[in-house]
Amino acid sequence: MSDKPPTPPADLSTEMVDTLNSYTPEQLRYVARYAEALAAHKARGGHVDDAPDDDEVAEQPDDLPDDVPSKATITIKEINDNRYYYWQWRDGESVRSKYKEPVNPDE
């Protein structure tokens, strides 16, 4: 396996490449799952602002707590020189967070 990072597609913006390069492996996996789900949704003719049907069940990560909505993403907060993962989502005009776990220093 090569020590060099993969070459990004030429049509990807520098800003997007820089953002992705700053993510942890876990965050990149979440982004990849979201991108795949969004691509499938658009391929079916859906639009991003479409609300899901009541009988449509959204796929959720295995470790998503019951009181955290499926639209939540993972963010990292640094508190007293320690890093922690938090679920984070928008609730109307507010941003809500819920503790997930400490960041593994080996990642």
- Cut 0.75: pTM above it: no
User: Which of 80, 79, 34, 81 is closest to 99 using CA atoms?
Assistant: 79
SS3 16: helix
Mean pLDDT of 74-92: 86
Average pLDDT, the chain: 77
Q: What is the predicted pLDDT for the residue at 61?
A: 57
Task: Give pLDDT tens digits for 51-70.
Answer: 444 334 444 456 678 888 88
In what helix (H) or strand (E) does residue 64 lie, and over which residues does it extend?
none
Integer Cα distance of 10 and 31 in angstroms = 19
